[in-house]
Amino acid sequence: MQSFSFLPVIPCSVEFLYCDLASLQSIRQFVQKFKKKKIPLHVLVNNAGVMMVPQRKTRDGFEEHFGLNYLGHFLLTNLLLDTMKESGSPGCSARVLTVSSATHYIGELNMDDLQGSHCYSPHGAYAQSKLALVLFTYHMQRLLAAQGSPVTANVVDPGVVNTDLYKHVFWGTRLIKKLFGWWFFKTPDEGAWTSVYAAVTPDLEGIGGRYLYNEKETKSLKITYDLDLQRELWARSCQMTGITDMTQDTFSG
């Protein structure tokens, strides 16, 4: 299972806290530990994940791409939002940055089988998880804006980056990557540029609901702007992770 160390930046100190995004319990435990430190959280980058792995499940029984790449970030972000709202202020918003992928452009969201139990495809499962991240970010931004919250949410597309994520792809693709990766793949540092830009640029102060590629705004897949689909996925995700869906209260108030 994929895990990651969360790195809060504390003045005069750097500290790692363990969090396994494939475990809802681990996420909740991490959030409890982080909040006990009573430090602000100005930027959250959702960047952990797996790609095109064989069919397997997380500790909570979710298909791994959907459970780790998407639901893990969904729960983590929602549990940290109150801290981010306290950390942000008018003119200095806290920022949620969620790393998706151009693969979302070929993704399909099967609301009747989000776990891919009937017909599993590693590529399809990965693309669906990246599509779900875009829908989640756009709906979250709508909620934050409606609440007048000093937090923004944007999507980042790092491009094709030379990392170990490709270890499960077709052997021919791995060979091409090994031979020509230096030519048409970004380095990890280059792949991080758009995330860093989105985290610090004054141009995005108070602005959310954007899809960013190469430090510029671009259009995501047309279906990601479907408000009903955004709301449906959000409601289902709340049920899966055991949190309250505030959509109706937010928009009816």
- Rounded CA separation 150/137 (Å): 15
Residues paired with 156 in a beta bridge: 99, 212
| Residue 51 CA: distances (Å) to CA of 2, 64, 88 | 11, 9, 33
Name which of 93, 221, 205 is nearest 213 in CA terms.
221
Which among 70, 105, 126, 138 is annotated as catalytic? 126
Count of helix runs (H) and strand runs (E) in the chain: 9, 9
**Residue 61 identity:** G
The rounded distance, in Å, linking the Cα atoms of 222 and 87 is 33
Helix (H) or strand (E) holding 156: strand 151-157
Q: For residues 205, 207, 213 and 218, what is the CA-based torsion angle, rounded to 10 degrees?
A: -140
* Residue 195 identity: S
CB 235 within 8 A of CB 135: no
Q: Give which of 111, 146, 145 is closest to 128, Cα–Cα.
A: 111
Active site residue 126: yes
Token digits of residue 102: 């151009």
What number of other Cβ atoms are within 10 A of residue 89's Cβ? Answer: 11
Tell me the catalytic residues.
126
